[in-house]
Amino acid sequence: MGLRKTFDKLEPTFKKGGKLSAFGSFFEAFETFIYVPKTVTAKGTHVRDSIDLKRTMSTVMLALLPAILYGMYNIGVQTSLASGAAWGFWQCIWFGFLKLLPLYLVSYIVGLFFECLFANIRNEEVSEGYFVTGLIIPLIVPVTIPLWMLALAVAFAVVIGKEVFGGTGYNIWNPALMARAFLFFAYPKQMTGDDVWVAGVDGFSGATPLSQLAATGSVDYSVADMFFGSIPGAVGETSTLAILIGAVILIWTGVASWKIMLSCLAGGLLVGLLGDVPCYYQLIMGGFAFGCVFMATDPVTSAQTEAGKWIYGFLIGAFAVLLRLFNPGYPEGMMLAILVMNTFAPLIDHIVVSSNIRKRLKRAQTV
Amino acid sequence: MSEQIRLKKGLDIPVAGAASQTIAKTVSADIVAIKPTDFRALVPKMVVKEGDRVLAGDPLFVDKNRPQVSFCSPVSGTVEAVVRGEKRKLLEVRVKADGKMEYRRKKAAVPASMTKEKAAERMLAMGLWPMVIQRPYGIIANPDDCPKSIFISAMDTAPLAPDYDFVLQNRFDDVQTGVDVLSKFTKGGVHFSMNYYTCPSSEFKKLRGVIFHEFEGKHPAGNVGVQINHISPINKGEIVWTVDLLSVAMIGKAFNEGIYDATRLVAVTGPAAKNPAYVNAIQGAPMAAFADFFETGENVRLVSGDILTGENVGPDGFLGFFDNQVTILKEGDYYETFGWCKPFRCKKFSFSRTYWSWLCGRKKYDMDTNTNGGPRPFVVSDVYAKVLPMDIYPVYLAKACLAKDIEKMENLGIYEVLPEDFALCEFVCPSKVGIQQIISDGIDLMLKEMA
């Protein structure tokens, strides 16, 4: 095939000693994007499973697709409601697409630039981790976010959140949440409040269910609206249904841990009992469902032992709702709950592994 | 009464090319080789020179640190070559067979009337001792030790593994004698693990003087290390021995008939093998003898052993000391356009459910040696534990090995494992981590530090 030949011809230029060897990682990333490489097993097992990180990550991207598509549609719906224009389905989608596209362009161009840069410095292959992170970041910010802020946040998340620790697989905190936390603390005005959630209509105040709850103690939206997602909110978080479809894909393929999702749900429901609204409201409002399905389950930053996953998930759910209910200054708690538990995940694992060690020592003593 | 142990974790890799239970032919072993590299941490010392004449059962080299442990020639003939690698490391001793198969004969002996010392002496003298492997570490046992117990697995669950009931047909007496010999060395008994499903029809169910265990489960349920972990896990300071069933039969024959009989039925298997079947061959047989099992000119890999733990010996290589299986695989050195994002890829097998193979039932796959992706930092955390039915945290143990943290390795169970137990972890790893090598390096480090 012509393209293959071109690659073969170009390869020496990018190899060590070649003219463009400084860009080896870029070349490699692009080549393996198009072709599964022809490398064969050298040591150890002679055959390998067909799964690789590209497949894993693309499964997560597929699971995100319903939330992205619905988010796009909902951008249009919210604007049409706010402006009073009666838009049709395709008009909503098109409007949302035009609003979301720049966010994705910024997210991927800035993020992948730093990924490739660091892979090049380290002389490693470019890891696929950012494809998922880059897809998530625009989904957890308001659609009205200025692009330069998004670019800053992405750069912060990739460089400080991930690369300084050693890149994908070594980071402590979920990089997408690092981006959101950066924005939240650096530019709170553009991230919170009631007038950031609707695009294209200046000064329109569209309160999210959570901010309504925090301000008035009750929620005006119907359960159906909150479940299907025709409410204001960050792009991808509004439709619990779309997120559930993603959850089914993740659990069906086994890519994300159902234990974390289930225990997170349980934790949220349990603490939700303390609130004034029915506890299941907590699951369909705000970013709870999105965080629970797509971010708490990040394999790198979550607990890695099976017993640890139960504890980790439960505490995320519990802390998230606890923050919502008892912290008047900040209506949403999911982001901080996940970041806190990311921090404690190694400790949970340490406790679980220590019990295995104690068991082994005890066994040695009794014999 | 035997104990039944059911293991839920594990994976039988559905690779095509199982050997049919027929004996296709007897391969002629012109040159055979014995490889010191088949033994962990062995420092060999030659006792013959090139051109020397040897009988089957004459020592070729010995363990430098324990010269009474000798390694014998499987055939009679002349020493053809002593192959050395870097730093003069001894790699192979090749013997050219004279075709007469003359044995160094000893008188038959009945183990029941022997003391432990006499039995050990005979095993050492006849080159049988290297078959006794010590855990921890997987090194050749020290004849002076008294192990807690001895474990034999009569269940090989490795991909396309030969069937013990077939390869040891009519060898019941040898196995019984072998077991009798081994039981001299321990007070803890000889544990004999069988497959729960096939053991009722197996001859070996009639063995005397062993403690039976029945295992039910997928690979690595047949790994002796996994079995030990469930029967009586190894604690710090304890020593157990393991002997594979083929070697037990060889030990038995050496007592029954007084000869070192290294002939064996070898299963020729693998997706690239034509008419996979069993052949009559011998320890250290050359791969050239299996040439008519694959198309000439095709780019294949010849593995002595199975696809998980075997060694890529190449067309000029030789069968390993313990191996009775040859696996023939296509080399996967091809590009696949957009392979990773094709939604179906029905011809690819994956343990994960990101492919469809988990819905395809008993389909067998024509696997090759492509890595199916590049190496990455460790990301997906829960896959290893799904294929390791041991009370061990594989990721943490591997990390301790990488960090060279002896105390942690000890605490996390390095004494209970060998690299082969992690072979499936390596197979399923999406990040393509070489965990067998990591564990192997860890064990080498322990050997060095504990010496």
B39 and B137 belong to one structural domain: no
Task: Tell whether B7 and B55 lie within a shared domain.
Answer: no
Tokens of B7: 């293991």
Which residues in chain A have Cβ-Cβ distances shorter than 8 Å to B380?
53, 56, 255, 299
* Last residue in a domain, options B221, B238, B256: B256
Residue B443 has pLDDT above 90, yes or no: yes
Q: Is the dihedral angle over the CA atoms A198, A203, A208, A211 positive or is it negative?
A: positive
Do B235 and A252 make contact, defined as CB atoms within 8 angstroms? no
| Residues near B445 by beta carbon (within 8 Å), at least 6 away in sequence | B401, B404, B406, B409
Q: How far is residue B366's CA from residue B329's CA, in Å, rounded to a whole number?
A: 9
Question: Nearest residue on chain A to B413, judged by CA atoms?
Answer: A360
pLDDT band at A357 (very low <50, low <70, confident <90, very high): very high
Q: Is residue B147 in some structural domain?
A: yes
Would you state the pLDDT for residue B2? 66
CA distance B11 to B28: 36
CB-CB neighbors (< 8 A) of A40 in chain B: 301, 331-333, 368-371
For residues B303 and B325, what is the distance between their CA atoms, to the nearest angstrom?
8
What is the model's pLDDT at position B115? 92
CA trace torsion B338, B331, A15, A116 (10° rounding):
40
Task: Tell me the residues of chain B between 345 and 374 that have a Cβ less than 8 Å away from chain A.
Answer: 345, 348-355, 357, 367-374
Out of B332, B378, B436, name the one closest to residue A40 (CB): B332
Which residue carries 């099992």 as its tokens? B293
Q: Are A51 and B412 in contact (CB < 8 Å)?
A: no
Q: Can you read off the two tokens belonging to residue A228?
A: 């299907």
CB B143 within 8 A of CB B124: yes
Task: Please give the Cα distance from A184 to A194 (Å, whole number).
Answer: 14
What percent of chain B has pLDDT above 70? Answer: 98
Q: Are residues B173 and B75 in the same domain?
A: no
Question: B234 and B383: one domain?
Answer: no
HEC readout, A7-30 = HHHHHHHHCCCCCCHHHHHHHHHH
Residue B355 lies in a domain: no
List the single range of A253-267, A323-337, B28-42, B179-193 with lowest mean pLDDT. A323-337
CATH code at B163? 3.40.50
Percent of chain B with pLDDT over 90: 76
The string of pLDDT tens digits covering residues B77-128 is 999 999 999 999 999 999 999 988 899 999 998 998 899 999 999 999 999 9
Q: Is the dihedral of CA B306, B307, B312, B316 positive or negative?
A: positive
Per the structure block, which two tokens stand in for A249? 């894909």
What's the pLDDT score for residue B428? 93
* Angle of CA points B283, B288, B290, to nearest 5°: 75
CA distance B113 to B95: 36
Per-residue pLDDT averaged across B255-280, rounded?
A: 94
DSSP secondary structure string, B325-382?
EEEEEE-----EETGGG-S--TT---SSTTSSGGGSTT--B--BSB-SS--------S
pLDDT of the residue at A27: 72
The residue extents of the domains of chain A are: 58-198+210-357
pLDDT at B450: 82
Give contacts of A41 with chain B, Cβ < 8 Å.
Answer: 369-371
- State the Cα–Cα distance between residues B41 and B155, nearest whole angstrom: 27
Same domain, B49 and B143: no
Please identify, among B229, B256, B283, the residue that sits at the C-terminal boundary of a domain. Answer: B256
Please state the rounded mean pLDDT for residues A340-367.
91
Judging contacts by C-beta atoms under 8 Å, the chain B residues touching residue A52 are: 340, 372-374, 376, 430-432
Smallest CA–CA distance from A302 into chain B, residue: B381
Task: Tell me the pairing of strands B133-135 and B139-140.
Answer: antiparallel
Q: A10-14, A90-94, A259-263, B134-138: which range is least confident on average?
A: A10-14
Q: Which residue has the tokens 């791969």?
A: B287
Sequence letter at residue B274: K
Residue B123 domain-assigned (yes or no): yes
Interchain contact, A304 vs B310, CB within 8 Å: no
- Mean pLDDT, residues A15-25 taken together: 68
B328 in any annotated domain: no
B395 inside 8 A of chain A by CB: yes
Tokens of B391: 């009370």
**pLDDT confidence of residue A210:** 84
Q: What is the largest CA-CA distance in chain A?
A: 79
Q: Higher model confidence: residue A83 or residue B188?
A: B188
**Residues B90 and B151 both lie in one domain:** no
pLDDT digit string (tens) for B31-40? 999 999 999 9
Q: How far is CA B66 from the centre of its chain?
A: 23
Residues 6+ apart with CB under 8 A from B418: B135, B138, B225, B439, B443
Residue B96 in any domain: the answer is yes
- Enter the pTM of the model: 0.90
Whether B143 and B52 map to the same domain: the answer is: no
Residue-level pLDDT at B446: 94
- Please tell me whether residues B42 and B157 are part of one structural domain: no
Q: Is the dihedral of CA B382, B386, B387, B388 positive or negative?
A: positive
Who among A39, A51, A169 is closest to B350 (CB)? A51
Residue B437 belongs to domain spanning: 371-451
Based on the fold, state whether residues B100 and B73 are members of the same structural domain. Answer: yes
**What is the pLDDT, as a whole number, of residue B200?**
86
Would you call A125 and B13 a contact, using CB atoms and an 8 Å cutoff? no
Identify all chain B residues contacting A355, using CB atoms and an 8 Å cutoff.
none
Is A43 close to B431, i.e. CB distance below 8 A? no
Confidence of residue B295 (pLDDT cuts 50, 70, 90): confident
Residue B20 lies in a domain: no
Q: Which of B11, B352, B440 best probes binding to A when mutated, by most A CB atoms within 10 angstroms?
A: B352
Domain count, chain B: 3
pLDDT band at A351, cuts 50/70/90?
Answer: very high
Instruction: Report residue B266's pLDDT band, with 50, 70 and 90 as the boundaries.
Output: very high
Token pair for residue B54?
């040897």
Banded model confidence at residue B147, pLDDT cuts 50, 70, 90: very high
User: How far does the CA of residue A357 sit from the closest CA of chain B (Å)?
Assistant: 5
Are B214 and B234 in a shared domain? Answer: yes
- Tell me the C-alpha distance between B423 and B305, whole Å: 13
> Residue A174: its chain B contacts at CB < 8 A?
none
CA angle B445, B447, B450 (to 5 degrees): 105
> What does the block give as tokens for B152?
């034999």
pLDDT over 70 percentage in chain A:
95
Q: According to the model, what pLDDT value does residue B335 have? A: 78
- When pLDDT is averaged across residues B287-300 and rounded to a whole number, the result is 88
Give the pLDDT confidence score for residue B205 in this predicted structure.
Answer: 92
Residue that has been written with the tokens 């951008």 in this structure: A75
Region B149-168: mean pLDDT is 94
Q: Report pLDDT digits (tens) over A162-198.
A: 999 988 888 999 999 999 999 999 998 888 777 788 8
Q: Which residues of B touch A310 (CB under 8 A)?
A: none
Backbone angles phi, psi at B324, to 5 degrees: -135, 35
Task: Indicate yes or no: CB of A40 within 8 angstroms of CB of B369.
Answer: yes
Per the listing, tokens 């439960």 go with A314
CA distances from A73 to A11, A145, B356 (A): 43, 18, 31
CB B106 within 8 A of CB B122: yes
Of B352, B375, B393, the CB nearest to A353: B393
Is B66 contained in some domain? yes
Average pLDDT (B297-319) is 91
- What is the torsion angle, in degrees rounded to the nearest 10, for the CA atoms of residue A139, residue A140, residue A143 and residue A149? -110
User: How close B148 comes to chain A (CA, Å)?
Assistant: 11
Phi and psi torsions of A275, nearest 5°: -85, 175
The reported pLDDT for the residue numbered A367 is 60
Alpha carbon A344 to chain centroid, angstroms: 19
- Which one of B350, B374, B377 has the shortest CB-CB distance to A50? B350
- Token pair for residue B329? 């695989």
pLDDT at residue B349, as a whole number: 87
pLDDT confidence of residue B298: 82
Residues A364, B310: C-beta atoms closer than 8 Å: no
> Which residues of chain A does B354 touch, with a Cβ-Cβ cutoff of 8 Å?
51, 55-56, 59, 253-255
- B275: how many CB neighbours lie within 10 A of its CB? 12
- pLDDT of B1 above 70: no
Mean pLDDT of the region A85-89 = 86
Q: Which of B89, B104, B119 is the last residue of a domain?
A: B104
Q: What is the pLDDT of residue A22?
A: 66
Could you say which of B13, B15, B335 has the minimum Cβ distance to residue A37?
B335
A201 token code pair? 């209509």
Average pLDDT of chain B is: 91
Q: What is the pLDDT of residues A272-285, one digit of tens each?
A: 999 888 888 889 98
Beta-bridged to residue B31, according to DSSP, are B96
Cα of B63 to nearest chain A Cα, Å: 26
Show residues of chain B in contact with A167, CB under 8 Å.
377
For residues B57 and B71, the answer to whether their CB atoms sit within 8 Å is: no
pLDDT, tens only, B326-336: 999 998 887 77
**pLDDT at B361 (0 to 100):** 75
Please report whether residue B202 resides in a domain.
yes
Distances (CA, A) of B327 to B28, B160, B265, B315, B369: 19, 8, 14, 12, 12
Mean pLDDT of chain A: 88
* CB of B2 less than 8 A from some CB of A: no
Q: Which residues of B touch A357 (CB under 8 A)?
A: 411-412
CATH number of the domain to which B73 belongs? 2.40.50.100
Q: What are the beta bridge partners of residue B78?
A: B53, B96
Q: Region B340-362: what's the mean pLDDT?
A: 78
- Contact between chains at B393 and A305 (C-beta distance less than 8 A): yes
Q: Is the CB of B309 less than 8 angstroms away from the CB of A45? A: yes
Q: Kindly determine whether residue B335 and residue A56, on different chains, have CB atoms separated by under 8 Å.
A: no
Kind of pairing, strands B44-46 and B311-312?
unpaired
Measured in residues, chain B has a length of 451
- Chains A and B form CB pairs within 8 A to the count of 206
